[in-house]
Chain A
Amino acid sequence: MYQLLIVDDEKKILEGISEIFPWNNIGFEVVGKFTKAKAALAFLENHPVDVVMTDISMPDMNGLELAKALKKYPDLIIVIFSSYSDYQYMREAITLEIQDYLLKPINYDKLSSCFEKIKTLLDEKFSINRNTDGSYYGKILKKVDDYLSNHFRDGSLIEAAELVGLSPNYLSKIYKENKGVSFSESLTKIRMQQAGEMLNDPTHKSYEIAYYVGYDSPKNFTRAFKSYYKVTPRDYRNGIRKDEDETC
């Protein structure tokens, strides 16, 4: 577990971000939470950490000043999260070699991506090989499958990743490794099965079904449907089937 210190002058946000985000899932442990930058600096004197995540606008010392002060710890990784998207701040952040600049309200997939990247960096530095047991992935994948069957219509990899506290890329990778099919293939499969059922009900119009199963364009739906069932939705509705198993 890598050690993380969070600084934000708003207590609620500070607590929210440290408690709600599944830090443990991605290998981080929150070892310090401070509403004052100076207190954080004092803490760091005696308690070295791997990563500091800080807000910018704070009453006693702003986040960039803090980052400047933290330059004396060369191995320390700093992440800014702020509601400022000011160009001047961004530029200053770059000159201070800030790892990342996250905007409030926190976008979870960006947060996961950011920290996964940090973790990789740290892993490389300490030459640690990631080995996680099957049960850990099993739990995650079970959660994702549940999510898929309930949210096939508006479901997305991003949302699923957020749900399990991983970055979309990483989730996609472990999904494929463990299931043999990709996340999007699974999603399409569920959608198509749903669409097939709905097509059997003549009260549903074709474009409504497309929308219902999560396509924002009827064309895309038709294309996906055809590649899945080998027939058009219209033919399917008319009872024409091309069962791959039979033809093979």
Chain B
Amino acid sequence: MLRKYFFKRVRTYFLYMIIPTLILFIVVGYFFISIQLRRIQEGGQATLYNLSNSLEVTVYNLGYYLDVMTSNFSFSLPLRNMLATNTMQQSDVVAFHMTQNFFSSFHLAYPYIHSMYLYLDGNDRFLSSASSQIPTIEQYYDNDWLDIYQQMADDEIRFASQRQIHRYAFDQPVQVITLFQRMSHMNGVIVINIDLDKYQNLLRNAMVTEFQNLFLFSSHRDMLGSITTEQNNAAFERAFALFFDDFLATDDYATLDGNWWRIDNHLFFLNAQYSEQLNIYNVSAIPFSYLIHELRYYLLLVLAILFLDIMIVFSIAYLYTRRSFFFIQECINVFSEAEKGEEITYQVSDVKDEFGIILNNMIYLHLRNNQMKMNLMERQYQYELSEKAALQLQINPHFIFNTLQIMDFEIIKNLGKLSPLHKMTMQLSKVVKYALTDPTTKVNLREELEYLKAYLEILKVRFGDFIITYFEVDENVLDFEVFRLLLQPIVENCLEHGKRKDGGKERIIIKLKIYDREDQISFAIIDNGVGMTQQELTKLNQKIYSKGMDNIGLRNVNHRLLLHYGEESALQIHSKKNLGTAVSFRLPKTNNKNKK
């Protein structure tokens, strides 16, 4: 029971709490994800933009300056001499130094530039920024660039290629991207070698996240360089190069830009850019896992809040269920206490819930009211009993009965058994005995009627034929249990108030009817006395229901009827002036056994 209520409550509270929380999470999550997506897009673009700003502008400018330089006769002629002949004239030396200065200033400004070469077609020698001499190609440690240059198509002005420069045998070879730029006014080439490691370090700073991958491709779709963060670097690079190559074989690079693509079974967001100045492709790839990574904290937060929610729901449900059960238990206790007629011990104080307080108050007041009503009725009844008991104590019954006994003996001795006095004594004994018996002991209707007749017999001796009483009683109700002195006060009232005030000689006839009516017994005591006007009747009724101290018989009977049988058994009085009065009431048959 408790468990069932508990889980029911948990479910309800959970729904109440979880629905708004989930909606909040979804909304926040949506915004969060869209912000992250925008960050990815903008990040990719920004990276590529930075790339073009750093590498391309620098390298393009460098190439441009060198090209401008070689277009100038004051430089181109000495250069041609320098490379063609071993001997240098004064002007050649100046030009050579100028070139060396130019080279070194670029080296200083851009440390990722490994070296620069100037070469004129058909010469054995070339100018190198890495050499203070004018080296011959054959003897120079780095000479495979010439092959690449010579393979370039005639109309190709610029070309990028990946190479290695191995200067010393003990040294690690340096990975470089080599840019070839044809001279515009001479037949020759400007070669710029970019140190890939250094350049990559530079690029890393420009990237938006550590998850980002960056690729440089030559116009021949060869990979020039890459910065990857995937676990399996080489494999991923190969896969990407393959993807890129396949893609560009059939489609334009621009299609790649700003879309999600599946590469090597992973989803990537690609940004691609083609640099005309350098004739290379720059591609940024941000993996989907970046999004997950960024969402990780958010999801953790969501889970934590959910967990917290559930904990709160459980504890609130537990507390409320326990309190509810405590409250219900309390109610049951109060009810059973009230039923048993015990003092109600329940105190309304510890319930904070407003419904609980209202309900508590209602129950409490209701029960209290009932209990007090019961107590009051009980007490009134007790009071009446004690009043009678007090009367009994004042006059010792032994005294009365022994006196009556002796009186009777004397009467019989002196007047004989047929004397009315003997009869009267016997009737009086009967009446006194009946009246003095414990009022709580039960009697049946037969006994009550017997007593009433004895009472009337005495009255008849007193008043002669002035009083006539008729009894119409159904035989089968004689064993019905009633309380003592039920009828006598009513009959007494008939005689008391029914008498003619003018002292007329007309006799009073009293008719007592007791009828058996299915589930109840109806009683009627009718007299032909003076009767009452409407006002007098109203007054009498008021008196019957008043709480005054004057002890009138009808009120006593009515009170006891209400106490024993309830409202339905109240006295009904009908009267008409100068015609008579009828007092009637009904007793339920079933109720009889249940009451005291």
- A17, B409: Cβ atoms under 8 Å? yes
Q: Which residues of the other chain, B, contact A208 by a CB distance below 8 angstroms?
A: 468
Kindly list the 8 A-B residue pairs having the minimum CB-CB distance in the complex, ordered from nearest: A16-B409, A83-B401, A105-B405, A105-B429, A104-B401, A105-B404, A12-B406, A211-B468
- A162, B402: Cβ atoms under 8 Å? no
Q: Which residues of the other chain, B, contact A103 by a CB distance below 8 angstroms?
A: 401, 433
- Whole-angstrom distance from the CB of A191 to the nearest CB of chain B? 16
- Give CA–CA (A163, B423) in the complex, Å: 11
- Give CA–CA (A211, B460) in the complex, Å: 12
- Whole-angstrom distance from the CB of A19 to the nearest CB of chain B? 8
Q: Beta-carbon contacts of B194-219 to A below 8 Å, as 1s and 0s? A: 00000000000000000000000000
- Give CA–CA (A162, B417) in the complex, Å: 8
- Whole-angstrom distance from the CB of A136 to the nearest CB of chain B? 19
Q: Which residues of the other chain, A, contact B408 by a CB distance below 8 angstroms?
A: 16, 105-106
- A105, B417: Cβ atoms under 8 Å? no
- B471, A106: Cβ atoms under 8 Å? no
Interface residues of B (CB under 8 A from A): 397-398, 400-402, 404-406, 408-410, 412-413, 417-418, 423, 425-426, 429, 433, 437, 453, 457, 465, 468-472, 509
- A217, B471: Cβ atoms under 8 Å? yes
- A13, B406: Cβ atoms under 8 Å? yes
For the A-B complex with A85-B433, A105-B404, A216-B471 known, give 15 more contacts whose Cβ atoms are closer than 8 Å.
Answer: A10-B402, A12-B409, A13-B409, A16-B408, A19-B413, A20-B409, A83-B397, A104-B401, A104-B404, A104-B405, A163-B418, A216-B453, A216-B469, A216-B470, A217-B470
- Give CA–CA (A208, B508) in the complex, Å: 12
Task: Give the interface SS of chain B, mostly helix, strand, loop or mixed.
Answer: helix
- B471, A107: Cβ atoms under 8 Å? no
Interface residues of A (CB under 8 A from B): 10, 12-13, 15-17, 19-20, 57, 83-85, 103-107, 147, 150-151, 154, 159, 162-163, 207-208, 211-212, 216-219
Q: Which residues of the other chain, A, contact B465 by a CB distance below 8 angstroms?
A: 211-212
- B470, A105: Cβ atoms under 8 Å? no
Task: Please give me the residue from chain B that is nearest to A217 by CB atom.
Answer: B470
- B406, A16: Cβ atoms under 8 Å? yes
The one of B397, B409, B457, B470 in contact with A218, judged by C-beta atoms closer than 8 angstroms, is B470
- A106, B405: Cβ atoms under 8 Å? yes
- Whole-angstrom distance from the CB of A6 to the nearest CB of chain B? 13
Task: Please give me the residue from chain B that is nearest to A81 by CB atom.
Answer: B405
- B409, A85: Cβ atoms under 8 Å? no
- A105, B418: Cβ atoms under 8 Å? no
Task: Please give me the residue from chain B that is nearest to A219 by CB atom.
Answer: B472
- Give CA–CA (A219, B465) in the complex, Å: 19
- Give CA–CA (A85, B401) in the complex, Å: 12
- Give CA–CA (A84, B396) in the complex, Å: 11
- A151, B418: Cβ atoms under 8 Å? yes
Q: Which residues of the other chain, B, contact A83 by a CB distance below 8 angstroms?
A: 397-398, 400-402
The one of B412, B425, B453, B457 in contact with A20, judged by C-beta atoms closer than 8 angstroms, is B412
- Give CA–CA (A57, B397) in the complex, Å: 12
- Give CA–CA (A13, B413) in the complex, Å: 12
- A107, B426: Cβ atoms under 8 Å? yes
- A13, B405: Cβ atoms under 8 Å? yes
- Whole-angstrom distance from the CB of A33 to the nearest CB of chain B? 14
- Give CA–CA (A147, B418) in the complex, Å: 9
Task: Please give me the residue from chain A that is nearest to B467 by CB atom.
Answer: A211
- Give CA–CA (A17, B429) in the complex, Å: 16
Q: Which residues of the other chain, A, contact B437 by a CB distance below 8 angstroms?
A: 85
- Give CA–CA (A85, B432) in the complex, Å: 13
- Give CA–CA (A207, B507) in the complex, Å: 12
Q: Which residues of the other chain, B, contact A85 by a CB distance below 8 angstroms?
A: 433, 437
- B426, A105: Cβ atoms under 8 Å? yes
- Give CA–CA (A105, B429) in the complex, Å: 7
- Give CA–CA (A216, B402) in the complex, Å: 32
- Give CA–CA (A38, B280) in the complex, Å: 149
Q: Which residues of the other chain, B, contact A151 by a CB distance below 8 angstroms?
A: 418
- Give CA–CA (A83, B468) in the complex, Å: 32
Task: Please give me the residue from chain B that is nearest to A56 by CB atom.
Answer: B398
Task: Please give me the residue from chain A that is nearest to B396 by CB atom.
Answer: A83
**Which of A107, A217, A218 is packed against the most chain B CB atoms within 10 Å?**
A217
- Give CA–CA (A103, B437) in the complex, Å: 12
Task: Please give me the residue from chain A that is nearest to B401 by CB atom.
Answer: A83
- Give CA–CA (A83, B433) in the complex, Å: 9
- Whole-angstrom distance from the CB of A88 to the nearest CB of chain B? 12
- Give CA–CA (A106, B400) in the complex, Å: 13
Q: Which residues of the other chain, B, contact A162 by a CB distance below 8 angstroms?
A: 417
- B472, A217: Cβ atoms under 8 Å? yes
The one of A13, A217, A218 in contact with B402, judged by C-beta atoms closer than 8 angstroms, is A13
- Whole-angstrom distance from the CB of A126 to the nearest CB of chain B? 31
- Give CA–CA (A142, B417) in the complex, Å: 16
17 contacts between A and B (CB under 8 A): A16-B405, A19-B413, A20-B409, A57-B398, A83-B401, A103-B401, A104-B401, A104-B405, A105-B426, A105-B429, A147-B418, A151-B418, A163-B417, A208-B468, A216-B453, A216-B470, A218-B470
- Whole-angstrom distance from the CB of B340 to the nearest CB of chain A? 27
- Whole-angstrom distance from the CB of A20 to the nearest CB of chain B? 5
Task: Please give me the residue from chain A that is nearest to B457 by CB atom.
Answer: A154
- Give CA–CA (A57, B398) in the complex, Å: 9
- Whole-angstrom distance from the CB of A53 to the nearest CB of chain B? 14
Q: Which residues of the other chain, A, contact B429 by a CB distance below 8 angstroms?
A: 105
- Give CA–CA (A157, B249) in the complex, Å: 143
- A20, B413: Cβ atoms under 8 Å? yes
